[in-house]
A and B are shown apart, each in its own frame.
Chain A
Amino acid sequence: MDSIRKRARELLEKNTVKVVIGYGVGSDNTVRAIFVRRPEGVEELIFDETCVQNLAVYLLKNEIKQIGKLCIIANISALRTILQLASEHQIHEEELLCLSVTPNGELLEFTGFKDIENYISSCNRDLPDKESEMIKKLEKMSVDERWQFWMNHLSRCIKCYACRSACPMCYCTRCQVEYNQPQWITVEATLMGNFEWQITRTMHLAGRCVNCGECARACPEDIPINLLNYKTVLTVKEKYNISAGTNANIDSVMSSFESDDKENFIR
């Protein structure tokens, strides 16, 4: 923690960066994002295992970008997001500076995307155990049971789009859900509309999701929508051996192909 504060202070004092996006203490002893712009503000910065929010979501926010060069205190999810966003040409190396802390408390300062790639390649990118087990459990269910499971959950969805807003990869200028010519997705927060929305959201994140879980954390109705993305993460990993957010220069899974992609269902 001290090393982060020290480095953040230096960066702000030397005007190397204009703002440090990091974690601070929120209401009721929770953790929340803070935006430090003055050297003395660095004392508010914290970093520990409770700092789970994927702060990369703020990198594309206009009012934050306008402040000037950014420094982000990035957890693994955020680092992977940065690589994925870079591969999609949304952020550029010179625009930001990444700090992180290893599990044994060592401060990391990344000089570029290549540096992040190297670090990420050594990190655990597996899905959380709880979710992995839940996916396995769902896969073992019958189709009808799975359908019931999701209908029960999706019936609660109020289409607040917190899942979309919290996702750092959902940066589209205009979400497909906003189209009404044609009305791709039933507007209303009805079961069908919610179902269609989740299919769209997951498909759009296929091969791009870095399994940060922000979507489910943001959901005010506690719908485990991250399972959908995680399932797709597994599919992509299994079929194409690709994990999103590991390389700043590769084509996305859905915009590339191998002429011998394997499947067993096409007649």
Chain B
Amino acid sequence: MSDFQPKIVAFVCTWCTYAGADLAGTSRIKYEPNVKIIRFPCTGRIDYMFLIKAFANGADGVIVSGCHPNDCHYVSGNFHARRRWIVFRELVDFLGMDVNRLCFSWVSAAEGAQWAKIVNSFTEEIRQLGPYKAYMELVKKDKNESVF
């Protein structure tokens, strides 16, 4: 399993985590290449359905990251996002989804090193968990010819 390269997608807000990832770049901090970023204006914009769609399209893990509480560029987007995450995470856990494949974080524009750390540790965690077979099974069944 050690050569398994997880597919991870990160939904981040442009003001904090995206900028933090930029800082990691300008600081030339090295980290794992598995995480690919999709940029949103704010964590408040990130519909939980994007997370579900990520798994449906083969992601093994998903990161959602934005500004620390009280630091939202749009004042309160991250507070709304946080509520949504809390409820969503409880729900999918109850449905039997592996919440260890969801990583929520606050990474500010100044925390390039923190971003690299999260990417590296989460990538390793997912590598340990292996491919998300249970969900892949769903996807496969969905692609089946017809359903009785």
Residues of A within 8 A of B (CB): 135, 138-139, 143-151, 176, 182, 184-186, 188-193, 195-196, 198-200, 202-203, 206-207, 227-228, 231-232, 235-236, 239-240, 253-261, 263, 265-267
- A190 and B94: CB pair below 8 A? no
- B83 and A196: CB pair below 8 A? no
User: A235: which of B48, B91, B104 is its contact (CB, 8 Å)?
Assistant: B91
User: B142: which of A182, A193, A199, A266 is its contact (CB, 8 Å)?
Assistant: A193
List chain A residues, Cβ under 8 A from B76.
257
| Chain B nearest CB, measured from A44 CB (Å) | 41
Within 8 A of A (CB), among B102-131: 103-106, 118
Q: A143-B98, A144-B134, A259-B79 are in contact. Are A206 and B87 (CB under 8 A)?
A: yes
Judge whether B1 is part of the interface by a CB distance below 8 angstroms. Answer: no
CA distance in complex: A259, B67 (Å): 13
- A196 and B52: CB pair below 8 A? yes
Could you list 29 A-B pairs, sorted by A, with CB under 8 Å?
A: A139-B94, A147-B95, A147-B96, A147-B97, A147-B134, A185-B49, A189-B147, A190-B144, A191-B138, A192-B138, A192-B139, A193-B142, A195-B95, A196-B49, A198-B95, A199-B52, A203-B84, A203-B87, A207-B87, A231-B90, A231-B94, A236-B87, A253-B87, A254-B84, A257-B76, A261-B83, A266-B85, A267-B105, A267-B118
User: A149: which of B56, B87, B88, B96 is its contact (CB, 8 Å)?
Assistant: B96
List chain B residues, Cβ under 8 A from A198.
95
| Chain B nearest CB, measured from A88 CB (Å) | 17
CA distance in complex: A207, B91 (Å): 13
One digit per residue, 1 when the CB lies within 8 angstroms of any chain A CB and 0 when it does not, for chain B 6-31 equals 00000000000000000000000000
By DSSP majority rule, is chain A's interface helix, strand, loop, or mixed?
Answer: helix
- A267 and B103: CB pair below 8 A? yes
CA distance in complex: A112, B3 (Å): 66
- B90 and A200: CB pair below 8 A? no
Q: A147-B134, A192-B141 are in contact. Are A266 and B94 (CB under 8 A)?
A: no
CA distance in complex: A228, B134 (Å): 20
| Chain A nearest CB, measured from B29 CB (Å) | 17
List chain A residues, Cβ under 8 A from B142.
186, 188, 190-193
| Chain A nearest CB, measured from B117 CB (Å) | 9
By DSSP majority rule, is chain B's interface helix, strand, loop, or mixed?
Answer: helix
List chain A residues, Cβ under 8 A from B70.
259
What 16 new A-B contacts, CB under 8 Å, besides A199-B95, A257-B79? A146-B95, A148-B96, A182-B53, A190-B141, A190-B147, A195-B95, A195-B138, A199-B52, A227-B94, A235-B87, A253-B87, A254-B84, A256-B83, A259-B69, A259-B70, A263-B85
User: A186: which of B56, B93, B144 is its contact (CB, 8 Å)?
Assistant: B56
- B87 and A199: CB pair below 8 A? no
| Chain B nearest CB, measured from A16 CB (Å) | 42
Within 8 A of A (CB), among B33-68: 48-49, 52-53, 56
User: B94: which of A146, A186, A206, A253 is its contact (CB, 8 Å)?
Assistant: A146
CA distance in complex: A263, B89 (Å): 11
List chain A residues, Cβ under 8 A from B53.
182, 184
List chain B residues, Cβ under 8 A from A265.
85, 89, 99, 104
Q: Find the residue from A186, A195, A232 having the highest chain B CB count within 10 A.
A: A195
- B91 and A203: CB pair below 8 A? yes
| Chain B nearest CB, measured from A163 CB (Å) | 15
| Chain B nearest CB, measured from A202 CB (Å) | 6
List chain A residues, Cβ under 8 A from B84.
203, 254
List chain A residues, Cβ under 8 A from B134.
144, 147
Q: Find the residue from B56, B69, B79, B86 having the highest chain A CB count within 10 A.
A: B86
CA distance in complex: A236, B91 (Å): 11
CA distance in complex: A153, B91 (Å): 16
List chain B residues, Cβ under 8 A from A186.
56, 142
